[in-house]
Chains A and B, each alone.
Chain A
């Protein structure tokens, strides 16, 4: 699936499915990460300097396939991409992400500055921005969005917030919230309770809603259920280039052109050019491929080299082009259970936990996996061996210089021998107490790539005398094991991280819920986990960009050495798009449609 980058929210909200924002091929060529050679299959991103949109003509539409139904059109309470895919085009944020560099850039706010105290941030709004109902955007709308919608401050005293909001949780620090006030019609002042380096990314990427439209709903508490899937077009009032058209359950979502949109092209014509963005709702990615091949949809994100092999030869006859953006930011890894509490409760044998907690064991497994074979056979050479998280995908925090793990079964055996493992007559390893070295490797059955990867790992490990029992499971059951029962040996999993390391805090901090090897620890169980906790706390407060990057480099180094996640492979991010559109400037991070309002039908 191709993502655009009207709002960085879409980028930052990461999902498990390995579909993400493209990463930079061009950037890779400039400072080649050790060992990374990108396959050459399609058109590569352009340089930011070459981004020169021309004056286009109005009309036409882009048809896409969307996976799954929208759950609501409420940008404040939404927690899933099936919703934000639409809301990100209807509502806008103060800042957004530069599709070429990943840095923040102005959107509804013309500029912003932070005072010397590091906690007072002032945003200056752009003049002349209007909502799609024609009313002007002012600082009062921003103030309202934060106080009434995000923090729900109009609720009766002493009660809980009346609707869930991820932004609220991200912008609440030890129970303290950000103070937001409109200084004048075009100036908003945010006072943060603590110094936060990524304040611009947190506060700047919250959508701004119309006070006039939603004030009543916020007061009487109906906002949580508002903006549902049965909304009428006039009920979704945002400043985005498109507005809500209609939603037919199980069939389609139509967004139409916002006639009041504030941006103009070079000739003074109002944007966007496209009349309609149409989304066919489909249930699986196979349908998406066929729809693209039939010409029903205009754009498709190939899932693997297999799709590319089908699509590449027919570019001319299908009138489309293939684009490639470099390594995807979706990780795939093995995670071993290190939960001592689970072992205490007898959910997993004690000796196994002892193996899994041993750094040498995880290193041995990592060395015994032939990632090159996986890239070649599973990804049809359209992918990379992944050294660690934040080492491949382009972005301001990519850490260079980490080499992929070599395939070295002998060294793996030596490490195991060092731990006291000895092969028996059949070559199966046994530990010093005589336990056979075998474990169950789980993954979710509907993810074909993970199941194949699991099989490759099983065969690789068999070669050094480890018995692996591969078990594909229903995703829900898998999550239950990770999150509730903790009775697993190891899993093959994936996460998409986005480009901002702090947003991995829910995974890497030892007290977090997605710290998969041992979630919600009261105190970190190892010194390196403790250090990672410290680094994440430091990282969010460090204002200096270079120093911040260095802090996260230490984190990546620890993750690389300790391997709580044994990283495997990532794919090349690719897309196919019909040739009938103008102003397409593929960007390493923003993908194909980062400037959707300027895209036109040729």
Chain B
């Protein structure tokens, strides 16, 4: 197991490295250049040229890539460090170090995702099981209706709808952001309440969307398990229905879900770009989209790097979890 993990990690590093090359290539091949959005007539060509030089954008794309990686600094050709030196570079759009731009966004997205995940899992899995047990009865039908509604409604649409009702029409909830202006003058509890008021909309929307599919998924798993022969055997032995379900079926129904949990980990830092834009939530999705649109090189590369690292870790985690819960699976 350990050697497998080590091998996987080495492989992951290579994979991430290659994927950064691909990402950078695509970034360079796509039309537009950083700072092009500035067609201010009062800004002179000389100013723009100097800016391009300052950010090293006048060099060849290969040099730019190696500079981002930190190789140029390593061989003494760059004054600024790169990834190898632990420097994520300067964001062109924000004119600030990428790490500084990223930090508050990461926290915002992470807290949103973790809370959403907690809600979703603690509600969806039991609901799915319940629906499976009550298959084709009223609760199942009601839950199916909700699930299909939730799955088919795009997140941005429900977000807009809720925003329209609660923020625009009734003014109960703020229209976006993470905290209100006077947040830091408040006491602890009002402060938490302030967070809650700002996060409730995104959480509701994201939970609703994720809930639906996860609930369907766990229902499907449970139904599959309930059709297994050992369940019939257990019932034939004369075990009580609750014992059959909770002791025998449930464990096996949950196994595949545990793997999913690993995959969800991969998405922890990835924001929901569309949703974040609609409700003006200062998270990673919004940042990534803006960075891409502005072709903010270092910022795009860093968010991409983060995403691919998380994906690799998530996959690995899923595999380890699967081995842990399912005795049939083992890695050598």
Contact = CB atoms under 8 A, between A and B. Distances in A.
Contacts of B48: 513
B186 interface: no
B36 A14 contact: no
Given A16-B39, A164-B51, A71 B95 contact: yes
Given A169-B44, A224-B54, A250-B282, 10 more contacts: A13-B40, A71-B96, A229-B95, A230-B96, A249-B100, A251-B282, A283-B280, A283-B286, A506-B41, A514-B41
Contacts of A282: 176-177, 280
A116 interface: no
Contact of B293 (A15, A165, A474, A507): A474
A contact residues, range: 35 or more
Contacts of B40: 13-16, 79-80
Nearest to B286: A283
Given A79-B40, A249-B100, A249-B104, A166 B178 contact: no
Interface string B162-184: 01000110010011111111010
Contacts of A498: 42
A252 B185 CA distance: 14
Question: Dominant SS at the B interface?
Answer: loop
Interface stretch (A214-222, A478-486, A553-561): A478-486
A475 interface: yes
Contact of B167 (A290, A480, A485, A514): A290
Contacts of A170: 42, 44
15 contacts: A16-B37, A71-B95, A79-B51, A164-B51, A229-B94, A249-B101, A250-B282, A251-B183, A252-B181, A278-B181, A280-B177, A476-B37, A476-B294, A485-B31, A495-B39
A230 B167 contact: no
Given A229-B96, A251-B178, A293-B168, A166 B47 contact: yes
B248 interface: no
Contacts of B176: 282-283, 287, 290
A79 B39 contact: no
B276 to A, nearest CB: 9
A296 B174 contact: yes
A212 to B, nearest CB: 26
A294 B286 CA distance: 24
Contacts of A479: 32, 36-37, 39
B280 A164 contact: no
A169 B47 contact: yes
A12 B175 CA distance: 32
A75 B175 CA distance: 32
A290 B179 CA distance: 15
Given A165-B47, A169-B46, A228-B96, A480 B280 contact: no
Which of A72, A251, A514 is packed against the most chain B CB atoms within 10 Å? Answer: A251
B32 A474 contact: yes
Interface in B128-168: 163, 167-168
A86 to B, nearest CB: 14
Given A69-B94, A164-B54, A249-B100, A291 B47 contact: no
B50 A164 contact: yes
B43 interface: yes
Interface string B34-73: 0011111111111110110010000000000000000000
B42 A13 contact: yes
A163 B179 CA distance: 35
Contacts of B282: 250-251, 283
A170 B43 CA distance: 9
